[in-house]
Amino acid sequence: MAYDYISEDFNPTARTRTAASTGSSINVSRKKKIGHPLKFQLKPQKQNGSNQVFDFSLGPREGNVRIVGIDSVSSNVSRLLISILGNSPVANNNTHPSTGRRVSSSDGVVGSSMQGTRGDCFYLAEINALRNTKDGQKILNNNIRRNNDGSITVTLPGAVKIRQGYAAKGLKCEVTGTYVITAEALAKAEKQAGKSFSKNDMDTICLEIALENYRAEMVKTNKINGNKETSGNYTAEGAVSHVSSTDLLYGGQTYDAGFILTGKKSDVYYNGKKYNNVQRYTDGQYGYVTRDQMLKQTQISAGIRTKGISEINYLGKEEKDLNNMLRKYEGHEGEYAITCSVRIKKKGSDGVTPQDAGHALSVVKITADTVYVANPWHPDKIEPIPRNDFTKMAYSMSAMEVRNNRLNTTNPQNSMNNLTLILGKLSANHTGIKPPAKINQNRLNSMIRKMNNRRSGNIQNINMNTIVQIFNKASKATLNQDEKSRLNNLLKNIAEQNSTKDIDVKDFEYFYDKFSE
């Protein structure tokens, strides 16, 4: 298992092969009905006369929004797996310890969840790594919005960037990046907690549903662009479709998951030569400490308690790269989402992951002699692994910076002052840009409200900070004549002194899509 190459720029037609961090291996075949909706039938090999099937249908698209109905929430997965692998303790014990329910209700805060019977450890480990930081927790929460009709909208910022990358190349694209999960679909998903999806937290399940639908969109995108199906593994960039021999949540890389969840890149260590000879990881071998215990010892941030595109900045392949990363991130765990991949010594406690399979863990804390990790099978039990053993076990590690370089926008006056300064810089850097003499704060507030009420793209929960950041990036970018014209229209719009006049947000939406992270 090794990389052929990692592309530095977004290239939807490139052929990229990566090593997967996966759970169990199941022999299935997929029948695909091209058109609308896209339907998958995953069929296991016969076991004692059993030949069960589960269906997944990609729902209708409305602009840059995918409607996720009950047919777009996969089911029967745990029964399929159990028929092959035997009883699973996760499937048989899938109630929330405090409520007795399979999953807590969605509250807009992505909380602790335990992996179910599907091989999406890479995704859940990355979610847990983001939750280890205050900024990462905020990013996850901002990706989820509850709607008045009982539905939930999930935005995947990396998927939005992928859609924009395809558009820039003039290629067809079925990726939307925004997924409206209907109330009926949510009710179905709740019943599948601990089976088709993780358990304990409904907002995490919503993120899983969104990824499943995004991957279905990528399969369809590759097909309509004439990209031949291969046995290569799924990548965030969509260069290769998801493996055709597994279900849509099975297998992947944590840095891919991080990119899809945030639109941000990671530093990655991967040693393919080491994979076959790594020291095997045994869950619980070094005992556990709780998050509360680590919090009392001030070893971790309180934030973890709160409920052309490439996904890689840097790729290291040597053992020294792993040690350099450990030194670099030691003491900075609150600024980065950090994960690693290991091979397990014996069958996982999830009842599904087989002996010697790859498995993803979140890195919670790094000290001079210990690396503390969280396993998606039980993410609130922190395992202290001696650093020397960790370097023998980890064949890959990734770290994604989640801290934003913020301007001084702690209050509205600072935001307005920053915006005035940036507009001056915008005019100085770009001939033909004419900043207004006075900005109408009411017009800015109207633009924010209107943007947050729209459903296309990753545009919910923007604020004055967002506007300042977008104009700041525009001041540093190379702009063509059309973009300069758009900027002048936008500046004229926010300077309009008639606050009752309807504000047109299409120009700001253009720059938001271009410059937002």
Q: Is 453 helix (H, G, I), strand (E, B) or coil?
A: helix
Q: Is 135 helix (H, G, I), strand (E, B) or coil?
A: helix
Q: What is the CA radius of gyration of the chain?
A: 23
Q: Is 201 helix (H, G, I), strand (E, B) or coil?
A: strand
Give the pLDDT confidence score for residue 213 in this predicted structure: 92
User: pLDDT for 2-41, tens place per residue?
Assistant: 222 222 233 333 333 233 333 322 222 223 322 233 444 4
Give the pLDDT confidence score for residue 245 in this predicted structure: 41
183-191 and 202-224 are packed helices; what angle lies between their axes, rounded to 10 degrees? 110
Of 205, 211, 199, 191, residue with least CA distance to 251: 211
Angstrom distance (rounded) from CA 111 to CA 199: 11
* Residue 11 CB contacts under 8 Å (≥ 6 apart), including other chains: 237, 239, 308
The model's pTM? 0.66
Give the pLDDT confidence score for residue 43 in this predicted structure: 37
Q: Assign 3-state DSSP to the chain and report helix, strand, coil percentages, each to 5.
A: 35, 20, 45
Tell me the residue type at 172: K
* Residue 419 CB contacts under 8 Å (≥ 6 apart), including other chains: 439, 464, 467, 468, 471
What residue segments make up the domains of the chain, in order of their start? 59-91+99-263, 275-401, 412-515
Q: Is 144 helix (H, G, I), strand (E, B) or coil?
A: strand
**Tokens 């249908």 map to which residue?**
57
121-131 and 202-224 are packed helices; what angle lies between their axes, rounded to 10 degrees? 130
pLDDT at 208 over 90: yes
Highest-pLDDT range among 30-39, 244-253, 266-275, 427-436: 266-275
Angstrom distance (rounded) from CA 139 to CA 160: 15
